[in-house]
Copies of this chain bind each other. A is one copy, B any other.
Amino acid sequence: MLTYSFENKGNDTLYEYLYKQIKKDIISRKLIPNEKLPSKRMLAKHLNISTITVETAYSQLIAEGYIYSVPKSGFYVCEIETGGTFEEYIPFDRNRPVSDSRDISGKFGGILTKRMEQGVDKEDEQKDRYYADFVNNRAVSENFPFATWTKLMRDVMADDTARLLNRPPSAGIYELRCAIADYLYQFRGMSVAPEQIVVGAGTEYLYGLIIQLLGHDMCYGVEDPGYQKIFRIYQAHHVRCSHIAMDENGINMDALYESGADVLHISPSHHFPTGLVTPISRRYELLSWASKSPERFIIEDEYDSEFRLTGRPIPSLQSIDVSDKVIYINTFSKSLASTIRISYMVLPKTLMERYRRELSFYACTVSNFDQYTLTAFINDGYLEKHINRMRNYYRALRDMILNDIKKHKWYDRITIKEENAGLHFLLKLSTDYDDNEIVRRAAENGIHISCLSQYYYDVKSAVLHTLVINYSGIGMEYAEEAIDRLFRSLFTD
């Protein structure tokens, strides 16, 4: 049972101290989600305090969302969910219970300590726990153009109330799809008809639509290393999923042909976590692969292409595809704010026809309010301005952090890699610590960090001793100290 000594409670009342201790254990995952807590009476007896004290502590924990009560059953620990915009950066949790453990239980190596890599819910908890977080890169909220968004929303509401109550077409309101098509043409050089665009409440929802569209019998290929979340979504839909090795130019073609994948889900313009940009020659090889079977398709996932900070822009796969093989997918939740749940996909003509036939009975998942507001936001040029501002901000932040690294006395012990990738880069370390130890030591020094190896499904192939530096959520004023803490946790004179 939970055991706490009250010796160090200082000026806290008994209940305040108990509440803080339990909260700490929940945040640190000593108490795990959905774990049952002892009854009030039992815990009071065990700790030799009054039931009222336990009750007051539990009440506060309920009010703050750390525990929940189930009538006639007891008290349970809440799932403390990951915050931040860039939640997909979470590495594989190798101790996570999975729905179909037969598939992967033998595969995951377990180089990480239990649940260590999962994030926590609230800003202040994050601060409690880490001085700086290079894993869960929450967007800096001051950067959201809130006043503009509010103004446009008001305009939309004042404008024409009747049209807000019309049921939008399944694929989204036509005006928004036109605005997106224009935007893609201007900023990505893509020629897309508004009729090819499907708007939905988040990319995760759209992935589910794509599975319904292409079929549950297909094998979906994902990048290794890569996002855990994309894999989990395919897994939740009970479709076959194959992890395909990458080489220095992106998806390895031999691995792709051997994988048995029908549908390839990739981010060729900006791969996470390696930062790779797939060159044009490999892009043609990928299209060639797709063209060899009518069942094959490529999902081109450009989640944060707006934030590639340098380098020659490479045409999207979608724009060089003449065989109707590429589904292009992108989101406004990354470029604006994660709470604006608007994403979109561009379907090739044949698939758009299939969508109209088979899936257009679905209602659009985004409210009219949000669709009209975003339309105005794009058409009035605010999106472009916002992205430019953010790009400048991230460039300055990146330069500052790189500078802090380069001027550090132990700079000779690391190598900076892929520094032109969007919102992250890699640091190759000269160290004898294994990756598990690296993460642990950094955490002890208040730095939340992940290693490249944590994003591999096939742990035997994992590149070791390489940090992934997701810097976009680090406040500029903390950068120098954060880098110094990181270095000091890994090196000594």
A68 interfacial by beta-carbon distance below 8 Å: yes
Assembled-state Cα–Cα distance A69/B339 (Å)? 34
- Contacting pair A236 B359 (CB below 8 A): yes
Known: A81-B170, A141-B165. A204 touches B362 (CB 8 A): yes
Tally A residues with Cβ within 8 Å of B. Answer: 82
Assembled-state Cα–Cα distance A78/B193 (Å)? 13
Of the 9-residue stretches A150-158, A266-274, A280-288, A460-468, which lies at the interface with chain B?
Answer: A150-158
Residues of B with C-beta under 8 A to A150: 157
Among A69, A82, A165: residue with most chain B CB under 10 A: A165
Closest to A165 in B: B141
Assembled-state Cα–Cα distance A353/B337 (Å)? 29
Assembled-state Cα–Cα distance A193/B121 (Å)? 20
A97 interfacial by beta-carbon distance below 8 Å: yes
Q: How many copies are assembled?
A: 2
Nearest-neighbour CB distance to chain B for A445, whole angstroms, equals 27
For chain A, residues 135 to 184, give those with C-beta under 8 angstroms from any C-beta of chain B. 138-139, 141, 144, 146, 150, 153-154, 157, 161-162, 164-170, 174
Closest to A368 in B: B339
Partner among B157, B166, B359, B368 whose Cβ is within 8 Å of the Cβ of A153 = B157
Closest to A139 in B: B165
Assembled-state Cα–Cα distance A208/B138 (Å)? 28
Chain A 204-235: CB-based contact to B (< 8 A → 1; otherwise 0)? 11001000100111000000000001001100
Closest to A203 in B: B363
Nearest-neighbour CB distance to chain B for A237, whole angstroms, equals 6
Of the 9-residue stretches A23-31, A83-91, A311-319, which lies at the interface with chain B?
Answer: A83-91
For chain A, residues 186 to 215, give those with C-beta under 8 angstroms from any C-beta of chain B. 191, 193-195, 201-202, 204-205, 208, 212, 215
Residues of B with C-beta under 8 A to A353: 34
- Contacting pair B363 A202 (CB below 8 A): yes
Among A150, A233, A341: residue with most chain B CB under 10 A: A341
> A residues engaging B (CB < 8 A)?
33-34, 65, 68-71, 73, 78-79, 81-85, 87, 97-99, 121, 123, 138-139, 141, 144, 146, 150, 153-154, 157, 161-162, 164-170, 174, 191, 193-195, 201-202, 204-205, 208, 212, 215-217, 229, 232-233, 236-238, 333, 337-341, 349, 353, 356-370
